[in-house]
């Protein structure tokens, strides 16, 4: 612990793990608990462990020397601007470039409706902050992105999961859930969805269902929050058309450069209907005054001077090879009764174990066999998901993926026989 972080501690608690402030936190802080993924990182990052757990993009594939030159050039040429405060809405030129990126998914937007945020994670936080009172309902796929569930919990939202299958969110299930919740007097604030290359589900909402989901939400007057960090990382064909492309009033779209460039810049964005955009800017101001001008300009400079579409293509090829390595070894090695999704893009496979097995109970044995995954329960707000696990193929090289799946299959094989 450094001197700075030790300020304010009383001698009685110094060095102790007991929280002397436990009865003084705001009620919302009780919902802030470490995710299962966070706790896992310590073990999974040991070199002998093949981690199929984390979702880290493979930034080593970037031309790092070029990025380095670009950053130093930025300071040399535009230092007084790049190192200054900026506007809470984000750099205007970057917001124009973001609109160009979104055009690849059929979105026609004005830079004026974009707010640049500290990753799309901050956009999630801001949108939750401006919409959620304690007890309000957020609809989300089951399973859903663990970071979003953490944010919803921090604002004391009640998350109600909507079932998914291999074609994504099931529209009938959405409609029925809305009906039942409304009949029970619940206040539904928005549907949070990851339609394309779902984290952790590895599935994509098909075209017909996209229109159905838009129609259901429009009829019910429910805002859609479309989280789309993986949309450009499809392995076949052109990018899917975003939900936002077909409804500009009822959808807040969240995007990110974390997977198409690098998460270390922490540049993401929200594209929102005008009134919501105003609130987001105010929330942004109160949270951080303004985003880092430096990283926004660095991303802007990268987009302006580098072949970024080619880089995305290179990432797609790299991740496709890893996805293939994972799917073919699952196919070859997993015992009967284990099933998994076949992602057309993104980073994740969602695997399901035979009835009666519990992935969290299996994890310590898997780690002992030097392989890690994320148990399914972390992706549900209601403790379900025990039979499932998320396997990520974004970071380990293909041979390591094959070795990791081999170790995992061995552990599951033993469990099945017990």
Binding site residues, ligand PMP, CB under 6 A: 55, 119-121, 145, 147, 194, 199, 227, 229, 256, 258, 263, 268
Closest CA to 272 of 144, 140, 114: 114
| Minimum distance from residue 117 beta carbon to ligand PMP (Å) | 8
Nearer Cβ to ligand PMP, position 44 or 334? 44
Q: In angstroms, what is the minimal distance from the CB of 229 to ligand PMP?
A: 5
Q: Is 166 helix (H, G, I), strand (E, B) or coil?
A: coil
Q: Which is nearer to ligand PMP, 121 or 329 (CB)?
A: 121
Nearer to ligand PMP, 171 or 268 (CB): 268
For ligand PMP, give the closer residue by CB, 118 or 351: 118
Q: Whole-number minimum distance, CB 115 to ligand PMP, in Å? A: 13
User: What is the smallest separation between the CB atom of 26 and ligand PMP, expressed in angstroms?
Assistant: 24
Q: Is 141 exposed, middle or buried (0-12, 13-18, 19+ CB in 10 A)?
A: buried
Nearer to ligand PMP, 258 or 301 (CB): 258
- 154 with 139: CB under 8 angstroms? no
Shortest CB 366 distance to ligand PMP, Å: 22
Q: d(Cα 416, Cα 353) in Å, to the nearest integer?
A: 9
DSSP 234: B
Among 13, 230, 277, 5, smallest CA distance to 120 is for 230
C-beta of 122: minimal distance to ligand PMP in Å?
Answer: 7
Listed in sequence order, the residues at least 6 apart from 377 whose beta carbon sits closer than 8 Å to its beta carbon are 36, 359, 360, 383, 384, 385, 386
Non-local (6+) Cβ contacts of 412 within 8 A are 334, 335, 338, 353, 357, 362
Tokens coding 60: 């080593």
Least gap, CB of 267 to ligand PMP (angstroms): 8
Residue 126 or 411: the one with the smaller Cβ distance to ligand PMP is 126
- Judged by beta carbon, residue 38 or residue 77, the one nearer ligand PMP is 38
Task: Give whichever of 257 and 294 is closer to ligand PMP, judged by the CB atom.
Answer: 257
Phi-psi region of 312 (alpha: psi -120 to 50; beta: other; left: phi over 0): alpha
Least Cβ distance, residue 162 to ligand PMP (angstroms): 16
Residues 172, 214: contact at Cβ < 8 Å?
no
Q: Are 52 and 363 in contact (CB under 8 A)?
A: no
The residue at minimum Cβ distance from ligand PMP is: 119
């Amino acid at each position: 612990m450094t001197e700075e972080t030790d300020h304010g501690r009383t001698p009685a608690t110094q060095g102790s793990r007991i929280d002397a402030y436990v009865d003084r936190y705001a009620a919302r802080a009780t919902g802030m608990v470490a995710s299962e993924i966070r706790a896992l990182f310590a073990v999974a990052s040991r070199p002998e462990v093949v981690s199929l757990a984390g979702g880290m993009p493979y930034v080593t594939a970037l031309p790092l020397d070029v990025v380095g030159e670009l950053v130093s050039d930025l300071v040399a040429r535009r230092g007084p601007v790049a190192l200054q405060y900026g506007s809470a809405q984000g750099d205007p030129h970057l917001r124009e470039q973001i609109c160009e990126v979104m055009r690849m998914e059929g979105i026609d937007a004005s830079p004026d409706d974009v707010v640049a945020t500290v990753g799309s994670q901050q956009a999630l936080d801001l949108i939750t902050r401006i919409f959620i009172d304690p007890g309000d309902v957020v609809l989300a796929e089951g399973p859903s992105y663990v970071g979003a569930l953490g944010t919803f919990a921090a604002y004391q939202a009640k998350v109600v999961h909507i079932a998914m299958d291999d074609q994504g969110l099931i529209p009938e299930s959405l409609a029925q859930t809305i009906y039942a919740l409304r009949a029970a007097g619940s206040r539904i604030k928005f549907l949070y969805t990851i339609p394309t290359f779902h984290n952790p589900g590895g599935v994509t909402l098909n075209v017909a269902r996209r229109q159905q989901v838009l129609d259901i939400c429009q009829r019910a007057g429910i805002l859609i929050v479309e989280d789309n960090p993986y949309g450009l990382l499809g392995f076949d064909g052109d990018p899917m058309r975003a939900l936002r492309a077909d409804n500009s009033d009822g959808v807040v779209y969240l995007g990110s450069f974390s997977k198409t460039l690098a998460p270390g810049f922490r540049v993401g964005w929200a594209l929102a209907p005008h009134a919501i955009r105003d609130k987001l800017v105010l929330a942004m101001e109160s949270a951080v005054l303004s985003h880092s001008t430096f990283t926004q300009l660095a991303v802007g400079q990268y987009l302006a001077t580098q072949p970024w579409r080619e880089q995305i293509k290179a990432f797609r090829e790299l991740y496709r090879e890893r996805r293939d390595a994972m799917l073919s070894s699952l196919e070859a090695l997993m015992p009967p009764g284990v099933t998994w999704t076949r992602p057309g893009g993104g980073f994740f496979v969602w695997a399901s174990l035979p009835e009666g097995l519990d992935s969290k109970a299996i994890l310590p044995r898997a780690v002992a066999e030097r392989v890690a995954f994320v148990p399914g329960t972390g992706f549900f707000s209601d403790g379900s998901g025990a039979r499932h696990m998320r396997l990520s193929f974004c970071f380990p090289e293909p041979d390591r993926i094959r070795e990791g799946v081999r170790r995992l299959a061995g552990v599951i094989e033993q469990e099945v026989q017990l």
